[in-house]
Chain A
């Protein structure tokens, strides 16, 4: 059976800057994959290629064996949720409104039913009390949890997280990681760019070290963190610790 997600020699350049230079790896259903790597190594680009916010130059990305480039892009994005570093909540809509927009306009769910689904998903991320608050009235951690609920409500097969906690004050990181941990336990397939080592260690099935547009090293967290094979990996992990 086809893997849930498969990168097959993916290349992407911006101008003459080769950002992705042949990425190949795969994930199965319920896998949690954490991607780490220095700034500019292409982590965000890699995620954005999956839901085609960036159209990659060469290679292929397959979802359930089907090339994403062959799919209707809106249908693809409905199947692959994304959570942003900067939250990107719809500023003019309440927490609930953020979740319902995709339900009513993309999944064509009637508004009453959409509200119910939204409230369910907000409850799932611990925000039952904030459904009527606007983004400007929420803390960073609450915003990011709304962002997760918004993605979850679309019932995606895969969730992409691009540094979901790096814009947060340290004391707010925990509540977001907690939600992500719960999702992993419920069997959600997640591709997560994050440098939260505690999370990677305890939740990730596999950690990928992306460096300069290639997969420099990849393995289970205990192996990659404790016994990295490459000097470059060791060096990068050393920088993270300090």
Chain B
């Protein structure tokens, strides 16, 4: 939980063929996931998560596995290979069977991440500005906040919010919580926890990005008559936030994975959905493998999307995207 540095391979930069394969897999994954969500909420909203049927009947795959087993029995030398293939098909059948539940979990993971990173950003920007341009008091407050949050484990923060403080009780008092599309209290606690936590990390990335903006920019803004705050808003932030995109992407990717900690405060996100299947079927290794593929797909998608975004907002001479050209 300490090391959030280091960037993975930038998928957007991969050469032709491999990229094509990844895009194909991506389209398949998202096509299926969106269809699943659409089906489960719009077309068949009254079916319990555990009763949802996969699009591809796993029975058919299981039948194929059976046949492979039978073949293997009389195949002599090739038996090993056939058994191995049968194992693969069985794994696929199991994976397919768990898809509806994982899709439901993935939905929570996605919006937990997206909501938290965006709300966190709204806190992180003022924090970073306070650290960089604030007076001693503001700087001290911002520093204390970031150090307190970054210096304590995220799981502990979630536990304090969920079990320690009366947060949940307050949230339940809001009208409509847990009804229809409004998530119930534990999810809100998770959003609050992740928002607070990621705001501290985002603030650090943004702060160092702001520091890479030439101080002469603010002087020039002041010299045409803009106030300090206006100069920060119109001149420093538009540049600094562009510089912050790579670091911010890191944080986003980490948040996808750390959102799994919400499982420990009962939120049925992707990891918890997998864990539940694991304890029902005792196929723990298999289900975590399938879940890992989900996380991988989410992370790769986000990092491709972010490098697209970075390129889309790039300005010659500002930010790392422009330096790469």
Q: How far is the CA of A126 from the CA of B224 in the complex (A)?
A: 21
B322 at the interface (CB under 8 A from A): yes
Please determine whether A136 and B322 come into contact, CB atoms closer than 8 angstroms. Answer: yes
Least CB separation from A107: chain B residue: B225
Q: Report which of A74, A91, A134, A135 forms a contact with B227, defined as CB distance below 8 A.
A: A74
B32 at the interface (CB under 8 A from A): no
Counted as pairs of residues, one from A and one from B, with CB atoms less than 8 Å apart, the total is 77
Please determine whether B234 and A91 come into contact, CB atoms closer than 8 angstroms. Answer: no
Residues of A within 8 A of B239 (CB): 91-92
Beta-carbon contacts of A102-146 to B below 8 Å, as 1s and 0s?
A: 100110000000000000000000000000001111000000000
Q: Report which of B217, B222, B224 forms a contact with A91, defined as CB distance below 8 A.
A: B217
Task: From known contacts A92-B242, A136-B317, infer whether A78 and B224 are also in contact, taking CB-CB under 8 Å.
Answer: yes
Residues of A within 8 A of B221 (CB): 90, 101
Task: From known contacts A77-B222, A106-B226, infer whether A88 and B317 are also in contact, taking CB-CB under 8 Å.
Answer: no
B180 at the interface (CB under 8 A from A): no
Dominant SS at the B interface?
helix
A240 at the interface (CB under 8 A from B): no
A204 at the interface (CB under 8 A from B): no
Least CB separation from B235: chain A residue: A90
Residues of A within 8 A of B227 (CB): 74
B228 → chain A, closest Cβ, in Å? Answer: 10
Beta-carbon contacts of A72-86 to B below 8 Å, as 1s and 0s?
A: 001101100110101
Q: How far is the CA of A51 from the CA of B222 in the complex (A)?
A: 10
Please determine whether B225 and A82 come into contact, CB atoms closer than 8 angstroms. Answer: no
B14 at the interface (CB under 8 A from A): no
Please determine whether B219 and A92 come into contact, CB atoms closer than 8 angstroms. Answer: no
Residues of A near any B CB (own CB < 8 A): 51, 53, 74-75, 77-78, 81-82, 84, 86, 88-92, 101-102, 105-106, 134-137, 150-151, 154
List 13 A-B pairs, Cβ < 8 Å. Answer: A74-B227, A77-B223, A77-B225, A84-B216, A86-B216, A89-B220, A92-B239, A101-B221, A101-B224, A102-B226, A106-B224, A136-B316, A150-B224
